[in-house]
């Protein structure tokens, strides 16, 4: 029987993480590298992503290579996944984390469909494109672990802000994760993490008053820090979870309990 701590080691593994340049993605990339994984560091528009990846490599002693990957562009996703597989020789773990939020208010408010299309393109189609590309790699290898970043918003209607489009997109992510867990059961595991309100760039739209309301609705009385989420990702990425697939782990300070 393996040592319990060794089960959580990522030594020798290769992890591809989208949306890795900030927030949850960056915290996961750092945690994975500290746990022994080499990192394919996916980013889109961050001007400092390449420098961040280089600094992470220097800090952890792991191989970290930055890849520009706008997840809403299927052809680019396919090429980047192939580039990662060629560069590292394999892909053990993929964290499909890239996403955007909805700040347009009630669903009927925008005068055109641009905001809706953008959130569907990134949050729904982007996750599908990543899954499709890495699924081929996993099937060829005969193993792999795909982890989606979903949200508690997949399960609830957030208040007081109006964000139906975001909630719908995250519900799709959670459902995609569960469906792929069944479809891929013979060769890969698929799980999702659903954070509650977390201090990241994606929540910068919220003013102090709105954030105070979030805190009042959360039993522990505050937002999460990205580092408080990484244990879930390490579990799903590691050999500690070899019989875990189709799970959605909610980390929300008790928000969805009340």
Q: Annotated catalytic sites, by residue?
A: 151, 166, 170
Written as one string, the DSSP assignment of 193-224 is EEE-SB-SGGGTTS-HHHHHHHHHHSTT-SPB
Contact residues for 87 (Cβ-Cβ < 8 A; gap 6+): 40, 65
Q: Is there a contact between 249 and 241 (Cβ–Cβ < 8 Å)?
A: no
Q: Which of 154, 148, 152, 151 is nearest to 168 (CA)?
A: 154
First-residue to last-residue Cα distance in the chain: 40
Instruction: Look at phi and psi of residue 177 and say left if phi exceeds 0, alpha if psi is from -120 to 50, else beta.
Output: alpha
């Amino acid at each position: 029987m393996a040592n319990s701590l060794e089960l959580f080691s990522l030594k020798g593994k290769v992890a591809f993480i989208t949306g890795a340049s900030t927030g949850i993605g960056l915290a996961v990339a750092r945690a994975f590298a500290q746990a022994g994984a080499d990192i394919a560091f996916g980013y889109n528009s961050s001007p400092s992503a390449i420098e961040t990846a280089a600094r992470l490599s220097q800090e952890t002693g792991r191989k970290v290579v930055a890849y520009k990957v706008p997840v809403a562009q299927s052809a680019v996703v396919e090429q980047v996944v192939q580039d990662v597989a060629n560069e590292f020789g394999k892909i053990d773990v993929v964290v499909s984390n890239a996403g955007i939020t909805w700040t347009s208010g009630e669903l009927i408010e925008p005068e055109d469909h641009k905001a809706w299309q953008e959130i569907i393109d990134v949050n729904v189609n982007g996750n599908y494109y990543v899954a499709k590309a890495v699924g081929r790699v996993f099937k060829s290898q005969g193993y792999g672990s795909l982890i989606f970043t979903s949200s508690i918003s997949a399960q609830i209607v957030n208040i007081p802000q109006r964000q139906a489009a975001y909630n719908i997109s995250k519900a799709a992510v959670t459902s995609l994760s569960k469906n792929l867990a069944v479809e891929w059961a013979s060769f890969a595991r698929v799980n999702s993490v659903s954070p509650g309100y977390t201090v990241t760039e994606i929540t910068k739209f919220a003013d102090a008053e709105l954030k105070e309301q979030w805190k009042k609705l959360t039993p522990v009385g505050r937002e999460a820090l990205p580092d408080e989420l990484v244990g879930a990702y390490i579990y799903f990425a590691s050999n500690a979870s070899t019989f875990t697939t189709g799970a959605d782990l909610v980390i929300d300070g008790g928000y969805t309990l009340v």
